[in-house]
Amino acid sequence: MTAPAVVLTGAPGSGKSTVGLVLAERLGVTFRDTDDDVEKVCGTTVAELVRRHGEGRFRELEHDAVRTALQEHDGVLALGGGAVLHPGTRRLLAAHRVVHLSTDLPTALARIGTAATRPLLADDPERRLGELFRIRGPIYRRLAVLTVDAGTGTPAETVDRLLLGLPEIPGAAGAQAAPATTGATT
């Protein structure tokens, strides 16, 4: 059975996509984001899907995307920030190497900008994101085999910390020695 090398979870603005791409490159595997999978199936953005059909419908499609990706993908998999809210998704994740990318609220707010593409944050991004941190934070930590600070340093430095914390990841031993060359921030 195929299984992802690593599954990344975390709040909006934690850097799952950015760090995930760097990690995948370092490990020599592919990167996949379940939000992208949902958008491909629906032919629209997640934001538009939520606006048209509601968060409940999106969460069901997201759960289906996570289930499929966990069965098919053997690289780095990033989940949407709220994917962990679905009880079925939490059960599925119990059998996988889940890493929680952690950041503080001000850093996440700076990274998400105006929140125009994030309908669950649109009304009052700071208040809504604070609520998401409070509700989802314990779930992220409970599901994770490792929590990594993704709020400081570059994405490459975050990957370095992740690989040091999980040396059993296939390909991680060689990946740890790779130089942290990117200066990009998330």
What is residue 126's three-state secondary structure? helix
For residue 130, tell me if it sits in a domain: yes
CATH number at residue 95: 3.40.50.300
For residue 186, tell me if it sits in a domain: no
For residue 182, tell me if it sits in a domain: no
What is the count of structural domains for the chain? 1
* Cα end-to-end distance, the chain, whole Å: 33
For residue 183, tell me if it sits in a domain: no
For residue 147, tell me if it sits in a domain: yes
* Beta sheet of 6-9, edge-to-edge order: 31-33, 76-78, 6-9, 98-102, 146-149
The pTM score is 0.87
pLDDT in tens, the chain (186 residues): 689 999 999 998 899 999 999 999 999 999 999 999 999 988 988 888 888 888 889 899 999 999 999 999 999 999 999 999 999 999 999 999 999 999 998 898 888 865 555 556 566 677 888 888 999 999 999 999 999 999 999 999 999 999 999 888 876 665 654 444 333 333
For residue 1, tell me if it sits in a domain: no
Q: Dihedral, CA atoms, 109, 115, 118, 121, nearest 10 degrees?
A: 70
Owning domain of residue 48? 6-176
For residue 185, tell me if it sits in a domain: no
For residue 98, tell me if it sits in a domain: yes
